[in-house]
């Protein structure tokens, strides 16, 4: 069996699996049923009101420009670092998988 045949068969399997998943997601449910309670509802007899204290609060002030710029820089740096780490992990996993599969084909 050649690599081209193996790739073609794998492509067909992936395509058929996607069609099967889409087909199972479009079916209707059998019927709608009402949920039955498993135990009697809890009745509270000693009801005590909760007191709420209302206090005034100062108006909202937007953060200054330096703080907003720092938030933008920090979030961008975190996104770049996480992207680089994710790219390295995915590349290593793909390289390992390809090396392992090609070694199996040589046997």
pLDDT at 6: 83
Decide if pLDDT at 69 tops 90.
Answer: yes
CA gap 1, 10 in Å, rounded: 13
Interval 75-89: pLDDT, tens: 999 999 999 999 999
In angstroms, the CA 15 to CA 7 distance is 12
How far is Cα 46 from Cα 52, in angstroms, rounded to an integer?
19
DSSP, res 34: P
Question: What is the spatial distance between Cα 21 and Cα 95, in angstroms, rounded to a whole number?
Answer: 28
Per-residue CA distances from 72 to 37, 56, 77 (Å): 50, 32, 9
Residues 105 and 3: beta-carbon distance below 8 Å: yes
Q: How many CA atoms lie within 13 A of 17 on its CB side?
A: 6
Mean pLDDT score across all residues of the chain: 85
Identify the pLDDT of residue 51: 86
Summarised one tens digit per residue, pLDDT across range 3-33 is 888 888 888 999 998 888 887 776 666 666 6
């Amino acid at each position: 069996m050649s690599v081209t045949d193996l790739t073609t068969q794998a492509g067909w399997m992936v395509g058929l699996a996607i069609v099967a998943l889409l087909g199972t997601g479009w079916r209707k449910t059998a019927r709608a049923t009402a949920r039955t309670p498993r135990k009697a509802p809890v009745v509270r007899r000693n009801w005590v009101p909760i007191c709420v204290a209302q206090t005034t609060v100062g108006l909202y002030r937007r953060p200054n420009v330096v703080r907003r710029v720092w938030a933008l820089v920090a979030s961008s740096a975190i996104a770049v670092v996480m992207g680089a780490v994710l790219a390295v992990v995915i590349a290593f996993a793909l390289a390992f998988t390809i090396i392992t599969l090609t070694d199996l084909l040589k046997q």
